[in-house]
Amino acid sequence: MDKDNYITSYGFIATIIVTVVGIGIFSYPRELAAMVEGDVWLETIIAAFINLILLKLVVAAIRANGFRTITDIIKTKFGSIIGAVILIIMCLPTFFAVSLGMRAFIEVVKMYLLSKTPTEFLIAITIIAGVYIVRGDVKTNIKFNEITLWIMFVPAFIVVLFTLNHTDYTNILPAFRQDIRSYLYALPTAAFAFTGVEIVYIVLPKLSNKKDAFKGIRYSIIFIAIFYIIISITSIAVLTTSETKKLLWPAIDLIRSIEIPGAFVERWDGVVMCLWVIFFFTTFSNGFTYSAYILSDALPLRDIRFSALILAPFIYLVAMYPNNITELYSVIHLIAPFNYVINLLIIPLFLLMLGKSKNNNTRGEEA
């Protein structure tokens, strides 16, 4: 295999999936059910389409620039100083998203698992674990993603199977009864649940089979959408719409209300929570890698290990910033649009326009 194009299609799909599916899945059913009640599935499908269109744009932009790395493209187009500024702007939303996501994760952990352990300590050790994996460069990360994909989703689907005898799927009815405005308002929330897709900027240039890049993206987005739909619909089927709207993390309470007849283990939520630590950690490690990777070229540090160390204290500071859970979620909702507008709309459009004019060698297209 080519030394530079080492990512397999499976690694590519796994990376997108584990990066996108994170701690947001716990609150996703509530956020959407609050706006569109049982029509969560519809909203998720539309959101997945929007993301696919945006990602198509990203793939086209990178293709037009000959599949070079994003830092390379931007630096040659804009020069090293303006390029560096643009790169930093690109990595900032992701950086904020992972830092705040970390805080949300820690809040869940503190609520259900380790109530007396100080927040600072939990954040610090998660960052250190993150730094450790980021130092291994993108390659390590991809391998890690390939392994965790199975660890994450096999138990998750098994858990959903256990809920089946408590479900009443008619709870998602009535369908299509909401105000058209609530569908529109809910759309950004649903679309932003796919935050993390910007990871394609750094994995795409290293993909071995670039021809089928978009196919891989399509598979992963469909997978994520199906997973979101299953979790949301099961939450509503078990807890009803009105209860789903009231609980902070319906997906967790869904597991808490499982009772397996005859099973010798009670309270499955503890087991599942431990497994789902990985859900967060992959989101974090990939987002962290993305930020560190771009930052290392922007500054220029030339080594992802330095940039990871530079970012670590800032992640800590951002994660500690929100005063409480309410503030945390309002800040998270504030950051998400920036990520989409900058990384998935403005940058690809720019690259597409500039790329067309100087379309030189397309590296690895035929590989």
146 binds other proteins (CB under 8 A): no
Instruction: Specify whether the backbone of 14 is left (phi greater than 0), alpha (psi in -120 to 50) or beta.
Output: alpha
CB 116 → other proteins: shortest distance, Å?
A: 4
**Which of 235-271 are b and which e, b meaning 16 or more Cβ less than 10 Å from the residue's Cβ?**
bbbbbbbebbbebebbbbbbbbebeeeeeeeeebbee
Q: Is 242 in the site for other proteins (CB under 8 A)?
A: yes
H or E element that contains 194: none
- Give the shortest CB-242-to-other proteins separation in angstroms: 6
Cβ distance to other proteins smaller for residue 18 or 258: 258
- 258 contacts other proteins (rule: CB under 8 A): yes
Binding residue (CB under 8 A) for other proteins from 43, 146, 198, 253: 253
Cβ burial, residue 65 (10 Å; 0-12/13-18/19+): buried
**CA gap 364, 260 in Å, rounded:** 52
Shortest reach from residue 137's CB to other proteins, in Å: 21
Residues of this chain, 102-121, that bind other proteins according to CB under 8 A: 111-118, 121
One of 135, 143, 218, 246 touching other proteins (CB under 8 A): 246
Task: Assess 171 for contact with other proteins (CB under 8 A).
Answer: yes
> Residue 209: how many CB atoms within 10 A of its CB?
15
Give the one residue of 32, 149, 247, 315 binding other proteins; rule: CB under 8 A: 247
Binding segment for other proteins (CB under 8 A), chosen from 11-19, 225-233, 235-243, 341-349, is: 235-243
The smaller minimum CB distance to other proteins, of residues 256 and 305, is found at 256
Considering the rule CB under 8 A, would residue 329 count as an interface residue with other proteins? no
- Give whichever of 171 and 339 is closer to other proteins, judged by the CB atom: 171
What is the number of residues in the chain? 367
Contacts (CB under 8 A) with other proteins, residues 293-312 = none
Name beta bridge partners: 207.
Answer: 7
Q: Is the CB of residue 20 less than 8 Å from the CB of residue 196?
A: yes
Please report whether residue 345 would count as binding other proteins according to CB under 8 A.
Answer: no
Q: Which of 9, 240, 321, 354 contacts other proteins by CB under 8 A?
A: 240
| CA–CA gap between residue 326 and residue 273 (Å, rounded) | 22
DSSP code of residue 2: -
By CB under 8 A, the count of residues binding other proteins is: 28
Q: Position 32: which residue type?
A: L
Asked if 170 is part of the footprint of other proteins (rule: CB under 8 A), the reply reads yes
| CA torsion angle 256 260 266 271 (round to 10) | -60
The pair of three-digit structure tokens given for residue 224, joined into one six-digit string: 């994520």
In the complex, what is the shortest distance from the CB of residue 35 to other proteins, in angstroms, rounded to a whole number?
Answer: 17
Minimum CB distance to other proteins smaller for 124 or for 278: 124
Determine the residue type at 166.
H
Query: Would you state the structure tokens that stand for residue 155, as one six-digit string?
Result: 């138990």
Among 292, 291, 315, smallest CA distance to 303 is for: 292
- Stretches 56-64, 73-81, 234-242, 342-350: which one binds other proteins (CB under 8 A)? 234-242
**Residue 183 touches other proteins, criterion: CB under 8 A:** no
* b/e sequence 131-146, b meaning 16+ C-beta within 10 Å: bebbbbebeebbebbb
Stretch that binds other proteins, among 28-36, 135-143, 238-246, 340-348 (CB under 8 A): 238-246
The answer to whether residue 125 forms part of the interface with other proteins (CB under 8 A) is: yes
Closer Cβ to other proteins, 27 or 339, answer by number? 27
Backbone φ and ψ for 69, nearest 5 degrees, come out as -70, 155
Binding site for other proteins (CB under 8 A): 111-118, 121, 125, 170-171, 173-174, 177, 239-240, 242-243, 246-247, 253, 256-259, 266-267
